A and B are shown apart, each in its own frame.
Chain A
Amino acid sequence: DAKTTQPPSMDCAEGRAANLPCNHSTISGNEYVYWYRQIHSQGPQYIIHGLKNNETNEMASLIITEDRKSSTLILPHATLRDTAVYYCIVRVATGNTGNQFYFGTGTSLTVIP
């Protein structure tokens, strides 16, 4: 699987958009980009995923560059409850052989009042 690079930490003012970048320059054509977050002491929580197109759901938006070498997770109006570690993962859709996720060190996002 392709490796990802994320900044170790970021701050964001409450109510503002949080933009979390991720580099995955070695991503292959069939590899999806997934985002998870982990609030202290809890299990990782799924946020969003995409392959080529930008995606949006009730939690966030995912912007993938045209060359797919990087992506940005956008939390449109950050709240204090969004303070967490955010993981960017690339995963191969391998059919029946497995769906392995490799979590890196992630970005620790702190939302400031």
Chain B
Amino acid sequence: DAGVIQSPRHEVTEMGQEVTLRCKPISGHNSLFWYRQTMMRGLELLIYFNNNVPIDDSGMPEDRFSAKMPNASFSTLKIQPSEPRDSAVYFCASSRLAGRADTQYFGPGTRLTVL
């Protein structure tokens, strides 16, 4: 299995620029999660999708953040405009939908630096 794939692995951008993070979940998984990790706040859930539908976006910090899942094999997290405080590692995870076999599998993360 390829596992969860994220791109880019590292992103450095300037304040005010648009940033798009990408995620390909494990084939056959129906749930997808976006997390953010910082030293101050630890690992936070931003949003998750079931069957491509956003279920809970209460963790999205501001309107500058948006996420989409146009199909079962692709999701994006967009920040526009970006700010230095958005610097963090962003993880994508996927799982099968509900039931006992719904362990979340994480990607390697995207390290975002906003200057």
- Are A and B associated in one complex? yes
Chain A residues with Cβ below 8 Å from B56 are: 98, 100
Q: Which of A66-113 contact B (CB under 8 A)?
A: 87, 93-105
Q: Which of B1-58 contact A (CB under 8 A)?
A: 4, 31, 33, 35, 42-45, 48, 50, 55-56
Chain B contact residues, majority secondary structure: strand
Further 14 A-B residue pairs, CB within 8 A, beyond A43-B4, A44-B43, A100-B45: A41-B109, A46-B103, A94-B98, A95-B99, A97-B50, A98-B56, A99-B95, A99-B104, A100-B48, A100-B56, A101-B33, A103-B42, A103-B43, A104-B42
Tally chain B residues at the interface, Cβ within 8 Å: 29
Identify B109's interface contact among A43, A45, A95, A99, CB under 8 A: A43
Asked whether, in the complex, the Cβ of B98 is within 8 Å of the Cβ of A96, the reply is yes
Chain A residues with Cβ below 8 Å from B44 are: 103
Chain B residues with Cβ below 8 Å from A98 are: 31, 48, 50, 55-56
Q: How many A-B residue pairs have CB under 8 A?
A: 62
A34 vs B101: C-alpha distance when bound (angstroms): 12
Chain B residues with Cβ below 8 Å from A93 are: 98-100, 102
Closest A residue to B49 using CB positions: A98
A104 vs B99: C-alpha distance when bound (angstroms): 23
| B106–chain A nearest beta-carbon distance, Å | 3
Which chain B residues have a beta carbon within 8 Å of chain A's beta carbons?
Answer: 4, 31, 33, 35, 42-45, 48, 50, 55-56, 89, 91, 93, 95, 97-100, 102-109, 111
Tally chain A residues at the interface, Cβ within 8 Å: 23
Asked whether, in the complex, the Cβ of B103 is within 8 Å of the Cβ of A49, the reply is yes
